[in-house]
Amino acid sequence: MIKPGIPKGTRDFGPVVVRKRNYIFQTIRETFELFGFQPLETPAMENLSTLTGKYGEEGDKLMFKVLNNGEIYPAAHEAKDNKALVAAITEKALRYDLTIPFARYVVMNQHELALPFKRYQMQPVWRADKPQKGRYREFYQCDADVVGSNSLLNEVELLLIYDTVFTKLGLKGYELRINNRKILAGLAEVIGKPELLTDITISIDKLDKIGAAGVRKELEERGLASEDINTIERFLAIDGSSTEKLSQLKELLQSSATALKGIEELSFVINAGYADFNTTPIIDVTLARGLNYYTGLIVEVKAPATVKMGSIGGGGRYDDLTGLFGLPGISGVGISFGVDRIYDVLEELQLFPQTAQQSTKVLFLNLGEDSARKAFDYMMQLRKNGVAAELFHENAKMDKQMKYADKRGIPYVIILGESELQENTLSIKNLVNRQQEKIEAAALLQFTF
Amino acid sequence: MIKPGIPKGTRDFGPVVVRKRNYIFQTIRETFELFGFQPLETPAMENLSTLTGKYGEEGDKLMFKVLNNGEIYPAAHEAKDNKALVAAITEKALRYDLTIPFARYVVMNQHELALPFKRYQMQPVWRADKPQKGRYREFYQCDADVVGSNSLLNEVELLLIYDTVFTKLGLKGYELRINNRKILAGLAEVIGKPELLTDITISIDKLDKIGAAGVRKELEERGLASEDINTIERFLAIDGSSTEKLSQLKELLQSSATALKGIEELSFVINAGYADFNTTPIIDVTLARGLNYYTGLIVEVKAPATVKMGSIGGGGRYDDLTGLFGLPGISGVGISFGVDRIYDVLEELQLFPQTAQQSTKVLFLNLGEDSARKAFDYMMQLRKNGVAAELFHENAKMDKQMKYADKRGIPYVIILGESELQENTLSIKNLVNRQQEKIEAAALLQFTF
């Protein structure tokens, strides 16, 4: 008999963890709903034709492909190489993210949907990445996107969703960093090297890690002239309040219409007065993220510096979300919550409320048939009143039953011994402060557990 | 460009359906928690060594296997037949049910778990069945099981969970049918053909479909003697109240100790007085279900006869759940909810409450920048008060904005025109009864949406 295990990079979630995760999901879901977003669920398996080529070569490699059912030997036998073999024996793969299935859904349902369509989706995705600390092969994504609207009100709304969720979760000291892809594109235009946009942003994205000198060195290696690098350094030196940053950007990049458009968009989001943020968004001109996606806003949520967790969310605007599936010209903007990291952050900062950790409130001890019958009645009354309650399954030694309550973290034990049965009372023991009191049976539903 | 689609037998769930499904899941989850059951989630992929051979040959065939990542060509190339090929290129498969992963989890965590362990699990499973009406390749299972206790209190509790959930869902006229495997085994003993237990139960299980004459014919074909069939017919003729059925069973099967044990167990569940059912369980001696699993109680929930949906739930007791993974002697008892069918039943009987279908309550019309800014403030106030609200994303024609509200089923529209802005009022239009009223802006949070 082999010892049972689970595939590497996957996890079982036991009761305590599921409850805490559900607290996070529930907080996010509630907020999505308050903001008028609607739930969508797509299948775990998608056709390979839907997924292939959408996530780059790396993505095609890391996708979990599902073997065709039935006889595969003949088809496999004829294949001349790995690629042909895989193509011959698979036609489905596991969901790799939530964005491509969403785009596919929008295209398939374009005639029924009321646009703009604001959807949220919270489902697992699978990637054959090398498992390591904080990186799993099965993990939940938790996305909200709007398609079919170019209005910057959506950007404001999505930032407010972050603000609302993290406020509800009690998280303080996190940062909501924003940028605009058009500003980065404008910078490349201003130094006359639009074709080097990707190189430039990859380098400046590393400012935090390698410092200004490191960035300079990298840019030199990527073939940028010294005066271009000077411009980039002036760009990186932009500082001050949001208003100051915006005006410095305007001055430095005034020759690029693209940049000015980006600055205007950022300015709207920051200054619209549409919204009071608990945590004001910070302009971060180095913020790039998966640059090739984004065409407007770029946003990233950084965990409080004290927990060293990095990004706990991000998103942005991407034009032409559905063009891949034959429906061009539909713009999208969305955000994502990194639930696994948020979990770790809340755990480290001890921000999970008691209610997120609670299960059964009351254990009735089983002291034999007469007592158990009576206890069962009381238990059903409590349950009808919304109090989670259990009766120990057998008339075991008191000690064993108390141990069960302890191990399960049940805070109250109710005892219906002979005297209680005679007096029509109940003894309630609080296992937290170890105090015991006797109440009239009729007062049970008024008791605060 | 190929038209995008999804794998056959799978489904997208749009907003309206997700909300209704969540209403069902939430009702079940709430009840599980009230009864002291704890949530568990296991990975979508399990090792093949965990799953293979656990669901019979049919199951091994219908499992969705996941292709190993990386180069598979060399290993595949050497394989001499289909079986060897599949073994060479796969080591994981998608979850096929929730019971085996649960057993695997219990064995892996046996030293940490407080026994009895009462867990519930609500996750999708995947089977490559031929898709047809009501049968999908991806569907949710929704199980509650207790392991590590032989107490019949668990049977009573699980039946009460069915009773509580279906009462909460407002379902009337369904049947909670129960039987005990030991009674069926006892019947086979009494006629001296214990080895024909499976044949006998397969035949009598069809009583509803083929009638008494049909069953007789089948039993003859299966080689049973005429007098044995007479005994079986007396068994099938058992009728009356539960008490009457139990006493007839006792008389007919008195020579089998196994049967008497089963009758005693059934009697406990029916008569324990532990529980007041809204829908009293009915003894159905023909009920067998996946007989090979069960060793004690067998239960099945039948949808109200009017909807012709058949079974909407079932379960039973099975000994030695974890023996497959090297931990023998652990008994389990569990039930399952057929969520897809329950959905169809509630839909047909129009039992989904209005609240399960509600999304955004209020749409603020967008009438230009000044109005929109003000509207945004009011909207955020409503959201903070728990009212889901939206502001139309752009200053479009009134008609277009009203159509959006209609299509989304939003019941209220709020208008902040010039006069309202001047007067500090809001016009609220109820789209259901088409009535419009004007309120003081300060009274917004008191308005009942």
The percent of residues above 90 in pLDDT, for chain B, comes to 81
**Chain B closest-CA separation from residue A75 CA (Å):** 10
Report the pLDDT value the prediction gives residue A1, as an integer from 0 to 100. 61
What is the rounded average pLDDT for all residues in chain A?
Answer: 93
CA distance B369 to B374: 9
The answer to whether the Cβ–Cβ distance between B89 and A67 falls below 8 Å is yes
Strand partners, B41: A13
How many beta carbons lie within 10 A of that of residue A140, not counting itself? 18
The answer to whether the Cβ–Cβ distance between B326 and A1 falls below 8 Å is yes
Report the pLDDT value the prediction gives residue A272, as an integer from 0 to 100. 72
Report the pLDDT value the prediction gives residue B290, as an integer from 0 to 100. 65
Over range B110-123, report the average pLDDT.
95
Report the pLDDT value the prediction gives residue A290, as an integer from 0 to 100. 66
Task: Quote ipTM for the complex.
Answer: 0.94
Of A153, A154, A325, the CB nearest to B4: A325
Residues 49-108 of chain A whose Cβ lies under 8 A from any Cβ of chain B:
49-50, 61-62, 64-67, 69, 71-73, 76, 79, 81-82, 85-86, 89-92, 94, 104-105, 107-108
Of A4, A46, A107, the CB nearest to B104: A4
Report the pLDDT value the prediction gives residue B291, as an integer from 0 to 100. 57
List pLDDT tens digits, range B250-303.
999 999 999 999 999 999 999 877 778 999 999 999 998 865 678 999 999 999
CB distance A17 to A359 below 8 Å: no
- Lay out the sheet containing B412-415: strands in order across: B389-391, B362-364, B412-415, B425-430, B436-440
**Chain B closest-CA separation from residue A188 CA (Å):** 32
The answer to whether the Cβ–Cβ distance between B138 and A14 falls below 8 Å is no
Residues 285-344 of chain B whose Cβ lies under 8 A from any Cβ of chain A:
325-326
CB distance B336 to B316 below 8 Å: no
Of residues A14, A27, A17, A24, the one with CA closest to residue A339 = A24
Segment A249-254 long-range contacts (CB within 8 Å, at least 24 positions apart): A249/A183, A249/A285, A252/A190, A253/A183, A253/A186, A253/A187, A253/A190
Of A36, A76, A105, the CB nearest to B76: A76
How do B389-391 and B362-364 pair as beta strands? Answer: parallel
List pLDDT tens digits, range A201-217.
888 888 888 888 899 99
Is B371 an 8 Å CB contact of chain A? no
The pLDDT of residue B127 is above 70? yes
Strand partners, B47: B92
List pLDDT tens digits, range B170-212.
999 999 999 999 999 999 999 999 998 988 988 888 888 888 8
Of residues B34, B32, B161, B54, the one with CA closest to residue B102 = B54
Report the pLDDT value the prediction gives residue B202, as an integer from 0 to 100. 87
Report the pLDDT value the prediction gives residue B56, as an integer from 0 to 100. 86
Report the pLDDT value the prediction gives residue A118, as an integer from 0 to 100. 97
The answer to whether the Cβ–Cβ distance between A45 and B10 falls below 8 Å is yes
Instruction: List chain A residues with pLDDT less than 50.
Output: none
Interface probe for A, chosen from B29, B37, B66 (most Cβ of A below 10 Å), is B66
Over range B10-31, report the average pLDDT.
97
Beta-carbon contacts of residue A138 (< 8 Å; ≥ 6 apart): A9, A10, A11, A124, A125, A126, B43, B44, B45
List pLDDT tens digits, range A379-406.
999 999 999 999 999 999 999 999 999 9
Which residues of chain B are within 8 Å of residue A91 when distances are taken between CB atoms?
Answer: 7
Report the pLDDT value the prediction gives residue A209, as an integer from 0 to 100. 85
CB distance B366 to B393 below 8 Å: yes
Banded pLDDT at B310 (limits 50, 70, 90):
confident
Over range B401-425, report the average pLDDT.
96
CA distance A160 to A174: 14
Domains and CATH numbers, chain B: 175-302 (3.30.930.10), 359-446 (3.40.50.800)
What is the rounded average pLDDT for all residues in chain B?
Answer: 93
Is A149 an 8 Å CB contact of chain B? yes
Which residues of chain A are within 8 Å of residue B76 when distances are taken between CB atoms?
Answer: 76, 79, 85
Report the pLDDT value the prediction gives residue A429, as an integer from 0 to 100. 97
Is B135 an 8 Å CB contact of chain A? no
